[in-house]
């Protein structure tokens, strides 16, 4: 979306929104600012929330959030992998546009470019305080950390919690004791960062068990500290990415096992944030968004999640990897107990927040669209009817309305293999798909290829794919995108 089209849409929807609330921008009634909270989990599956069908563990706070707000059925991430997903959420761009692909490693020289504007950056123009507590994974060197991208406070891990020299059983990996993953010897100790500085190291599974509570306590403190000014709070939990860690207050609480315990603690975290908002009289003017960064890591078995009835999981752009649970709560604006069946995505969150806050979008081109009309119940609107599914630099599929067209590509498959258990991964195979068209309204599991029955739909979606290849490239057809921007890079590889 270009800047002119964004401002046109945002101006229309925002003006209509405030008129519907009995307010005008110049009238006597004072416009109350809206706060924003995003809780973003790691590797939580589509079916890992009670209101999405979870079994053997409870999520009462998330279920209440859905009862008070809106549950999305067709909500997508940009890529089903850590760094790419987070880059898209914070910039409103497909991750390919900002050149953050896959999962950045502890020895990576790359990160989010200084010229890219995040949600925190655009809200800063309106005086918002911004804090992030949890997993960052957009570059661990100082130029890439949150304080250089619009945030005022940061506590958390710079990348995934399995990027450390520790074996599955918690034993340190050394040259004398390489365990089952000797290649982990090249990992440094997992750093806990406050602001721009390392303040501690996460060395044991017991250290991991404290992370969810630690992030939550800082989030609640941030709300208390900024209760009298507008704020943006981002809580990207390290869990339920393996290795799983859960505090004693939730250990052994679920029938599902440790994975269920971890999700129950995340649900508790959401409840603590909601409680803090209510105690300070902020819940009615705060938009709270809950989502996952991608689908479940299925080959970890009982330490992975559940994406049913969707196909596959993390690491694939079948819907089990790219479609995630999403709940939004905004009292007085979102109708309680509503369900949105229209397509939306994490790239739409930035322009939606900008429209609500009355701030301009980033100067550089973004891909998201404002879904504010969906939130306020405009049944005639459909802000997003098309979506691109990239993995790495390869365009794997496109969707328009109910139709999703996969292009020939190989992918990581979890089907037909025995998963691992108790923190140990099982194998996965190499899947291969031909050109395949799916009707997601009739076939949510993407199992029946109807390409031969609908050649006109295939032709139309192939034209959409050509537009994506022109803008963002496609490794499968050796096409280089003409509108791709570079990521940030540094010269040194020092930790």
Catalytic residues: 82, 137
**484 is written with which tokens?**
């791709």
The beta-strand segments (E) located in 147-189 are 153-156
Please report, for the chain, the start and end positions of each structural domain, with discontinuous segments joined by +: 3-20+33-382, 388-488
**22 is written with which tokens?**
């009995």
Q: Which residues of 189-199 are buried (b: 16+ CB within 10 A; e: fewer)?
A: bbbbbeeeeee
Contact status, residue 375 vs residue 333, Cβ threshold 8 Å: yes
Pure H helices in 187-255: 205-209, 211-225
Give 187's DSSP letter: P
Pure H helices in 226-257: none
Q: 221 in helix, strand or coil? A: helix
Report the alpha-carbon distance of residue 378 to residue 401 in Å, rounded: 18
The pLDDT of residue 24: 31
Among residues 38, 57, 21, the alpha carbon closest in space to that of 270 is found at 38
Residue 353 Ramachandran class (φ > 0 left, ψ -120 to 50 alpha, else beta): alpha
- CB under 8 Å to 206, separation ≥6 — which residues? none
- The CATH classification of domain 388-488, taken from the options 3.40.50.10420, 3.20.20.450, 3.30.1120.10, 3.40.50.150: 3.30.1120.10
What is the DSSP secondary-structure string of 258-272?
HHHHHHHHHHHHHHH
Contact status, residue 311 vs residue 320, Cβ threshold 8 Å: yes
Q: Is the N-terminal amide bond of 309 cis, ω within 30° of 0?
A: yes
Distances (CA, A) of 148 to 209, 395, 413, 494: 29, 31, 38, 19
Contact status, residue 175 vs residue 182, Cβ threshold 8 Å: no
What is the DSSP secondary-structure string of 31-99?
PPP-EEEEEEESS--TT-SGGGT--SS--HHHHHHHHHSEEESSEE-SSSSHHHHHHHHHHSS-TTTTT
The pLDDT of residue 280: 97
The pLDDT of residue 181: 80
The pLDDT of residue 285: 97
**331 is written with which tokens?**
């009292």
Contact status, residue 247 vs residue 200, Cβ threshold 8 Å: no
The pLDDT of residue 14: 47
Contact status, residue 420 vs residue 426, Cβ threshold 8 Å: yes
The residue assigned the tokens 């690491």 is: 315
* The CATH fold of domain 3-20+33-382: Alkaline Phosphatase, subunit A (3.40.720)
φ, ψ for residue 220, nearest 5 deg: -65, -40
Among residues 334, 304, 337, the alpha carbon closest in space to that of 321 is found at 304
Contact status, residue 384 vs residue 369, Cβ threshold 8 Å: yes
Intra-chain end-to-end CA distance of the chain, in Å: 37
In this structure, how many other beta carbons lie within 10 angstroms of the beta carbon of residue 252? 10
φ, ψ for residue 83, nearest 5 deg: -65, -45
What is the DSSP secondary-structure string of 426-437?
---EEEEE-SEE
**27 is written with which tokens?**
């009238």
The pLDDT of residue 492: 67
What is the DSSP secondary-structure string of 316-366?
S-SHHHHB--EEEE-TTTSPTTEEE-S-EEGGGHHHHHHHHHT----SS--
Measured over the CA atoms of residue 100, residue 106, residue 108 and residue 114, the dihedral's sign is positive
Q: Which residues of the chain have pLDDT under 50?
A: 2-31, 495
Per residue in 28-80, pLDDT tens? 334 489 999 999 999 999 999 999 999 999 999 999 999 999 999 999 999 99
Q: 345 in helix, strand or coil? A: strand
- CB under 8 Å to 108, separation ≥6 — which residues? 139, 140
């Amino acid at each position: 979306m270009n800047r002119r089209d964004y401002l046109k849409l945002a101006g229309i929807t925002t003006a209509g929104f405030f008129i519907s609330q009995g307010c005008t921008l110049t009238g006597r009634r004072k416009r109350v600012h809206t706060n924003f909270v995003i809780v973003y989990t790691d590797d939580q599956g589509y079916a890992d929330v009670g209101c999405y069908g979870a079994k053997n563990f409870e999520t009462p706070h998330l279920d209440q959030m859905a009862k008070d707000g809106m549950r999305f059925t067709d909500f997508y991430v940009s890529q089903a992998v850590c760094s790419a997903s987070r880059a898209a959420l914070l910039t409103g761009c497909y991750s390919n546009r900002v050149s953050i692909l896959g999962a950045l490693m502890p020895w990576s020289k790359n990160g989010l470019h200084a010229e890219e504007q995040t949600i925190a950056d655009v809200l800063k123009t309106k005086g918002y305080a911004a804090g992030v507590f949890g997993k960052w994974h957009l570059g661990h060197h100082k130029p890439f950390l949150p304080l250089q991208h619009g945030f005022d406070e940061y506590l958390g891990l710079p990348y995934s919690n399995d990027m450390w020299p520790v074996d599955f059983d918690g034993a340190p990996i050394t040259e004398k004791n390489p365990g089952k993953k000797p290649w982990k010897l090249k990992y440094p100790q997992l750093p806990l960062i406050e602001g721009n500085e390392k303040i501690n190291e996460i060395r044991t599974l017991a250290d991991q068990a404290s992370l969810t509570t630690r992030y939550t306590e800082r989030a609640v403190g941030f709300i208390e500290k900024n209760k009298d000014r507008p704020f943006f709070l981002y809580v990207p939990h390290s869990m339920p990415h393996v290795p799983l860690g859960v505090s004693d207050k939730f250990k052994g609480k679920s029938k599902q096992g440790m994975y269920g315990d971890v999700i129950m603690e995340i649900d508790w975290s959401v409840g603590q944030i909601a409680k803090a908002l209510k105690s300070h009289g902020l819940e009615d003017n705060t938009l709270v968004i809950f989502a996952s960064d991608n689908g479940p890591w299925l080959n970890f078995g009982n330490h992975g999640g559940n994406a049913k009835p969707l196909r596959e999981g993390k690491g694939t752009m079948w819907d089990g990897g790219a479609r995630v649970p999403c709940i939004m709560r905004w009292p007085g604006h979102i109708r309680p107990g509503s369900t949105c069946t229209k397509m939306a995505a994490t790239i739409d969150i930035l322009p939606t927040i900008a429209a609500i806050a009355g701030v301009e979008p980033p100067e550089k081109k973004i891909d998201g669209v404002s879904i504010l009309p969906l939130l306020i119940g405009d049944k005639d609107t459909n802000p997003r009817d098309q979506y691109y599914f990239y993995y790495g630099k390869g365009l794997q599929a496109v969707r328009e309305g109910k139709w999703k067209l996969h292009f020939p590509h190989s992918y990581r498959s979890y089907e037909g293999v025995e998963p691992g258990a108790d923190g140990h991964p099982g194998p996965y195979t190499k899947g291969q798909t031909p050109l395949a068209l799916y009707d997601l309204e009739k076939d949510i599991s993407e199992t029946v290829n109807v390409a031969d029955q609908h050649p006109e739909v295939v032709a139309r979606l192939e034209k959409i794919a050509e537009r994506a290849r022109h803008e963002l490239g496609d490794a499968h057809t050796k096409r280089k995108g003409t509108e791709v921007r570079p990521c940030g890079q540094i010269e040194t590889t020092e930790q």
